[in-house]
Amino acid sequence: MILLLMMVLGQDPEQALASYAEAREKFVQEADLAAELQRIVAEAEDAISTEGLRRRRREKRHAQASVVSYRVLESRRDGDTATLVVEEQLKAPDGARRKKLAFAKAGNRWLIAREFDGCPACQAKGTCTWCDGRGEANRKPCPRCKGKKRCDTCDGAQWIERSFAHGITPLAARRDFAPRTDTSSARATAEAFADALTAEQIRLSAAMRRFFESSLALLKAHFTEDVAREAQEALRKAVEDGAKALQAYVPSVDVKTDGDRATAIVSAPPGPLGNERRQIALRKTDGRWLVDEVKRECGWCRGRGVCAACQGKAGKLTCLYCNNSGRCEPCEGAGFTD
Ligand SMILES: [Zn+2]
Ligand SMILES: [Zn+2]
Ligand SMILES: [Zn+2]
Ligand SMILES: [Zn+2]
């Protein structure tokens, strides 16, 4: 009976997609990776944070995006291969997104051979978002596409292939790590925070590894053998790279104290686990120094606060990003954001 049902589910591309979509949604809801990652961060950092920061952290938690429905926009079939273009309707705030799936027939089942996301930069139009595909701006070649008229994220292809290997980062596996918990000085707490980041890396990696291992099982059931084999290899490599990377992951700390307040920059070292910096504000409360605010380095200006497009040196030309203020727009020149 079960065997018969599986054959029916995969007997044409649309049914193969329906059975995959259902299994994937169930998996995403059960794994609830976003909630687990948020829980890990809270557990690592709450002990050295003020009540206010702990509350703000709880309020920021958001639910896993989930696909509410999808509809098929395009369906093409050519012998033993087929292509479907679908629009997925997601729960707010993500709205709708387009996807393209290529299928291959294996025996009497249809399996997914490739999966593409509509380019998020150009909304799958393929045209330059700066000049809207005209190739020029202010009667000069468009500075973004250099007159080529194509979107520079997808190079005009409209679609970006989704791959297990692209989504996977090195996964650390070291477990014997005890973070320092001393909060008697601003420096001690900043160092405890640096240790909390390392503890987070270890636990986040373990959670991600479990997640990827389960998604591999999902992949094996609905995708072609080639895709599953590549994914398995990507996972093996991520685990191998992660073990090395975590040995070198020791964030450094730079503290400035001013009375009962202090700020610190906590910098993770360069490497595959990400060399992001964090700016933390500390406050002395009942004899303990506690973390009251955590900001991440702005990804555009890398913490410098200077416009990444013109480096503050637009001169007589007009910088369309900062309007010649020289200030990084996304972080408003602060270098670090919530
Ligand atoms: Zn352009
Ligand atoms: Zn694009
Ligand atoms: Zn910035
Ligand atoms: Zn600028």
* Distance separating alpha carbons of residues 205 and 44, to the nearest angstrom: 14
pLDDT digits (tens, 9 = 90+) for 237-287: 988 888 778 777 889 999 999 999 999 999 988 777 777 899 999 999 999
SS3 content of the chain, % helix, strand, coil (to 5): 35, 25, 40
Beta-carbon contacts of residue 203 (< 8 Å; ≥ 6 apart): 40, 43, 44
Task: Determine the angle formed by the axes of helices 186-222 and 13-31, rounding to 10 degrees.
Answer: 150
List, in sequence order, every residue forming a beta bridge with 282; answer none if it has no partner. Answer: 262, 291
How far, in Å, is the centroid of ligand 4 from the Cα of 100?
36
Structure pTM? 0.74
Q: Which ligand is nearest to the CA of 311?
A: 4
List, in sequence order, every residue forming a beta bridge with 100; answer none if it has no partner. Answer: 85, 116
How far, in Å, is the centroid of ligand 2 from the Cα of 118?
8
Q: Which ligand is nearest to the CA of 151?
A: 2
* Distance separating alpha carbons of residues 222 and 250, to the nearest angstrom: 40
Domains of the chain: 2-118 (3.10.450), 298-338 (no CATH)
Q: Which ligand is nearest to the CA of 143?
A: 1
Of 121-125, 220-224, 273-277, 300-304, the one with minimum mean pLDDT is: 273-277
Q: Where are the beta strands (DSSP E) in 46-93?
A: 67-78, 81-90
**Is residue 187 classed as helix, strand or coil in its secondary structure?**
helix
